[in-house]
Structures are given as C-alpha cells and as structure tokens.
Amino acid sequence: MRRPHADAKRRAGTGWHCAPDDMTRGSLKLYDLHIVIAEANGFQSTLVQSMLRGFGANIIHETRSVAATMHLLRDRRIDILICDAKLPTEGGFELTRRIRRDVESPNRIVPVFVMASDTREVTVNAARDAGANMVIAKPMSPSALYDRLSWVALRPRQFVDSGSYFGPDRRFKIEGYPNGVGRRSTDTPLEVADDAGPALEQTDIDSLFKAAREGRD
C-alpha cells in the first residue's frame, strides 16, 4: 500500500498515463449504462455505488468475487466494470485477463477500472498487462473516480490483439515518440538526427520519467 498522507492529491487516483487537464474537460453521461462493481468489501462497494449515483448512474450491479462476476457477465452485456485488485479469490487482474481472453464474450472490450490499495509500479504494470484501462488508488475520492471515468470515456484508446495480449493499447502515455516511431509495422521508421544540443543529465531524465509516471506535466 502507498504512503497515504504524503501525496493526497496524487493518491486520489492512478492511471499509468494521466493528463489531469484533459480529464476535467467534457461531461460524463452514465445514465442507462450497466455498471458492475466487483468488490468484496461491502462498504467500499456501497461507497463507489454512491459516487456513481451522484454522477448520474442508475443501473449498478454488485458482485463479491471473480466467479460471481464471470457468472454475471455470461448473462448480460455490461458497459463499465470497476473491480478490486484483490477480489476473491483470483484477484481483479485475473478477472480482467479472463474477460479479455474470452473470444465469445460480449464484454471483451468493456472498459475495466481496477481499484487498488497498493499502487506500486509493479502493481500498476500488472493491471496494465492484464488489459485494464485504468487503475484507481484506494482510498478514492469522488473527483478521482470521475476523472478516471472521464479519461477513459473521452480519450478512447485503440485495442491491441497480439496473441499474448488483448486489451487497450498500453503505450498511451508515451506520446513523445516523434511521428509515431516505434516497433510496430505501422510506426514510422526510426531516423536519428544530428545532435541539437547537450544531452540531459541522468537526474534530469529521471525527473522527467518520474513526473510522467505521476501524471504531472
């Protein structure tokens, strides 16, 4: 779990790639969307449900385990899944993986938000690699939840099916690759320019990456 008091604002929510300014634009319309909260802690589930109702949601289902969630998802199409990383018994990451892997499922591309008490980098990476759209740090605030929902709603990402991974494009933060240079066939071939100035010190590079990880500009 993270240190809770040192960074109250950052703690409120963790996307591996967030741009807070963008997340506050636009408005959410959750009315008539089928939302599932998969959380074993009944009070936490009620809290999230209350926040969603405040946002205008009116159809909310609650489940308490991976098995119950999979059972619910077999029977109906849902629009948003908010699950706990430690959902009994296999956990929220495994639940996300199962949903993404199921080629028959009508919910294979559903936006998945994972709530986690522990938002160490290894946990966030695990959520991303499972196919989650966003990680929300607990304890959460209404504004953090709204911002994460807005981010996913207003900034849709492409999906990737690579055989070993099915889910939202995991590269959505690194917008700094010039003209889409990268490893994929659709990316621009890499061309290295002449030096335009002195190289950054490692400490400067580290601070840039740290700021990016923390969602700061």
Partner 1 sequence: MANAPIPKARVFHVETQLHMQARASGGVSRAQAVKAASMEVDKLKPAFDEWLGQEIALLVEAVERAKQGAPCGDWLDVAMIHCRQLHDVGGTMGCELVTLVADLLYKTFEGVAGGAECRLDTIVCYVDALQLVSKDDYRAIGPDQTPDLVAGLRKMAEHVNGVAM
The answer to whether the CB of 70 falls within 8 A of the CB of 96 is no
Q: Note whether 27 binds partner 1 by CB under 8 A.
A: yes
Q: Note whether 54 binds partner 1 by CB under 8 A.
A: yes
The answer to whether the CB of 82 falls within 8 A of the CB of 36 is yes
Closest CA to 39 of 68, 75, 6, 72: 68
Show the CA angle centred on residue 81, arms to residues 80 and 84, nearest 5°.
150
From 66-74, 96-104, 135-143, 201-209, give the range in contact with partner 1 by CB under 8 A: 135-143
The answer to whether the CB of 108 falls within 8 A of the CB of 161 is no
Q: Note whether 58 binds partner 1 by CB under 8 A.
A: no
Between residues 27 and 208, which has the closer beta carbon with respect to partner 1?
27
Between residues 6 and 196, which has the closer beta carbon with respect to partner 1?
6
Q: Note whether 83 binds partner 1 by CB under 8 A.
A: no
From 1-9, 97-105, 119-127, 206-214, give the range in contact with partner 1 by CB under 8 A: 1-9
Closest CA to 170 of 135, 125, 215, 209: 125
Q: Residue count at the site for partner 1 (CB under 8 A)?
A: 61
Phi, psi of 61, rounded to the nearest 5 degrees: -110, 145
The answer to whether the CB of 93 falls within 8 A of the CB of 85 is yes
Distance CA 46, CA 62 (A): 9
Among 51, 60, 82, 126, indicate the residue that binds partner 1 (CB under 8 A). Answer: 51
- What is the closest distance, in whole angstroms, from the C-beta atom of residue 68 to partner 1 in the complex? 18
The answer to whether the CB of 174 falls within 8 A of the CB of 213 is no
Q: How many residues does the chain have?
A: 217
Distance CA 105, CA 77 (A): 9
Q: Note whether 22 binds partner 1 by CB under 8 A.
A: no
Between residues 185 and 194, which has the closer beta carbon with respect to partner 1?
185
- Here's the x/- map for partner 1, 142-181, by CB under 8 A: it reads as xx-xxx-xx-xxx-x-xxxxxx-x---x------------
Binding site for partner 1 (CB under 8 A): 1-5, 8, 11, 24, 26-31, 33, 41, 43-44, 46-47, 50-56, 79-80, 86, 109-111, 115, 117, 138-143, 145-147, 149-150, 152-154, 156, 158-163, 165, 169, 184-186
